[in-house]
Structure 1
Amino acid sequence: MYQCCLSCPLGTLTSEFHLTSDVLIELIPCQNHTVEVVEGVSEDVKCAPLLFKDDFLSEQYFGENQPASIMTEQIHFGEGMHRRAFRTKLVGGMQPTFTAGHPCVLKVHNVVSQGTKKNEDLIHKNYNLAAEECYVQNTAREYIKAYTSVAKTTEEFGEVPEIIPIFLVHRPSNDIPYATLEEELMGDFVKYSVKDGKEINLTRRDSEAGQKCCAFQHWVYHNTEGNLLVTDMQGVGMKLTDVGIATPKKGYKGFKGNCATSFIDQFKALHQCNKFCELLGLKSIQPSLSKPKRTATAPKPKPQPQAKKKPFVFNLKSKS
């Protein structure tokens, strides 16, 4: 895309056309103005937010589709088990959530391969993976909103971490029709805790963001009576993304997470409370290390006094 003033002949085209770099090269650039070209593929998509009712665990639904245009880089910068992450920029739409040119991340759930668009089963799996990611991250976002309300009642707590929202994307013209879209976090990306309630990056063990993330895990664990845990706390500073949720196999209040129940067991065994847990009045989940009580034992029999032995005396008789 390009940036140009309205007085320039190119300026009249900004709202009507998506110009490729090849077309821009052929145009005569106006004097005293610059033309910025962003390499990528332009695409018209539809983005749907996940909405909640009073019971956000069991009453979740996707809202109305919002039309948007994005420009996505062709080479991915991150890869997971079922997805690839691409840098993209919003060209139009999605206001007021994003402004034009806002850097975003498009996560493509590539269980659907090229040329398999007509395979309904694969498309269904592609949708489920993208939708699940929206359910998990946005549900964790609702929990951290409630956590924020509690933390703000304590002035000493300070800034509270935020889990950013993520949107379901429908790509009608693409062979992989469903993906997710979220803001790109700029800066040093850190994994504050990985499934077990302790900071993994030892050089950041005492970081404020990391300790507040672990306290958030403890708060959720406490308020769900150990039935739900937000895992994989990671992000840039106080902004978090790509989190997971662990629940029992049968779920919790109608909600099923995307991580194994064993993550809850790991957290219960390894979490160590910090000052932010104490500020929220959270009690340690570790068993107290009290001294074992002595069991009653039968009294030992008293030793019986031994009879004194008479000294052996030799009788020496003289010879007659």
Structure 2
Amino acid sequence: MHEAMFWEKLDDDRVRCGLCRHACIIPPGRRGICGVRENQGGKLFSLVYGRLIAENVDPIEKKPLFHYLPGSRSYSIATVGCNFRCCHCQNAEISQWLHSKREIPGRHVAPEEVVRQALAAGCRSISYTYTEPTIFYEYAYDTAVLAHEKGLGNVFVSNGYTSTAALEKIAPVLDAVNVDLKGFTETFYREVIGATLAGVLATLRDYRRLGTWLEVTTLVIPGRNDGDEELAAIARFIADELGPQVPWHVTAFYPTYKMLDSPPTPVTTLVRARGIGLDAGLKHVYVGNIHDATGENTYCPKCGELLIERRGFRLGRLRLEKGACPVCRTPLAGVWE
């Protein structure tokens, strides 16, 4: 048991959680939407502090982060739980665990041990991923502070629903984030995700304001969020409000969890989405979850020179010189050192 951060006491021993944008009001003995923060006698506790359900060494490209230390490895960790209810969740067996079971699984690993293992594995960063890192924020924060002291980077792979106060606290030790912008209508977020689009957009604006390196991913689902108008709206939002240098990853959906009746995303749809993003003024749009001969590579936004070659999560040629194009000397946005 670990007392939670970001909560306030209400009447009748209720508490209001301020960690994410759901702002759950939780009566005594109950848990918030995430299933892992519980009101015990008028105090809010995290039930997953140090309870790892997954730990792996991953290529940073798997997050996906294409403009953050390319070719490096990231020590990736997660606990159970999530504050979303995505019908197409690829990790539902751990993110939605607590909706069918009450107990909290996981191996206890202290923050110091996570940092030690990351260093021993030759990783350059720690990624808080697989499930939503916001719901194990206290554990992630303590680990991130220690990692930062040891020269390791810290990465969130997030659904983008963290509160402003929580983001502002962790921002000094958070180096990069990939946020899922899952669609661009409130109807989609309400029916498929169990959240609000407005909350995600507010979080994205916060990340941009705080200066954390940001990349955005949209899983393109046939018949759900693959229309030209919606894809163009996402691209315009990124270009206009986050910046045209922010990479956008458009990735393929495969039937899973509660969306087994939806077909996989055709390659042609992702190629079309990439074109829409480039037409909207984005400098870097990437195709993911499938192989595309050009859609995975990074090109100079000025002269078009191939700068970073990729195939899946494997890195090919890397031709940056001090973070810039070797031909025209245009700086490439990202974190390269």
- Shorter-chain TM-score: which interval? under 0.3
Question: Which has the higher Rg, Structure 1 or Structure 2?
Answer: 1
Relative to total residues, which structure has the larger helix share, 1 or 2? 2
